[in-house]
């Protein structure tokens, strides 16, 4: 079942890329008591993700925070080392890079995709969501191969 607006995020673990190395993050604690703009990409360093998706959130960070967003986070089915390197190379600054290495979060919210045709295995669909105290307030899931509704600009227009 796919998560919907009004649903509480399930309890799972992600791994946060930090300067000191990987840090386990449980979703209950991460989203508790604050508003988080979360976006997911099929893979770090992939073309649309690197050229448009992540840079859009870097560019719109101040505007999102001015509208009450406490944190912006990017999640992908990659490991924390890859997510950390990608964030650093993209100049992602204050955007929290979260690894969903085994795809547990993507599976728990029902937003996986089959990337095996590209040698990528099971990955996350591309989406953005606004999460307030663990509850989904906005959810924008892309159609396969598209990049429209999950952009920072689109999420910003909904807040």
CA distance 111 to 124: 6
Q: Which tokens go with 50?
A: 């690197």
Choose the catalytic residue: 3, 17, 25, 49.
Answer: 49
CA distance 71 to 62: 11
Q: Could you identify the residue written with the tokens 């967003």?
A: 69
CA distance 140 to 152: 11
Is 74 annotated as catalytic? no
Q: Which residues does the annotation mark as catalytic?
A: 49
């Amino acid at each position: 079942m796919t998560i919907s607006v009004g649903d509480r995020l399930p309890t799972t673990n992600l791994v946060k890329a930090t300067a000191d190395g990987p840090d386990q993050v449980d979703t209950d604690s991460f989203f508790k008591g604050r508003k988080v703009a979360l976006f997911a990409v099929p893979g770090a360093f992939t073309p649309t993700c690197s050229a448009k998706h992540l840079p859009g959130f870097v560019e719109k960070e101040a505007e999102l925070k001015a509208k009450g967003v406490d944190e912006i986070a990017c999640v992908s089915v990659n490991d924390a080392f890859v997510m950390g390197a990608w964030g650093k190379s993209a100049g992602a600054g204050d955007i929290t890079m979260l690894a969903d290495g085994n795809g547990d979060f993507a599976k728990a919210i029902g937003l996986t995709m089959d990337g095996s045709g590209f040698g990528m295995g099971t990955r996350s669909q591309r989406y953005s969501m606004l999460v307030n105290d663990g509850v989904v307030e906005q959810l924008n899931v892309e159609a396969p191969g598209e990049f429209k509704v999950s952009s920072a600009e689109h999420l910003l227009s909904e807040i």
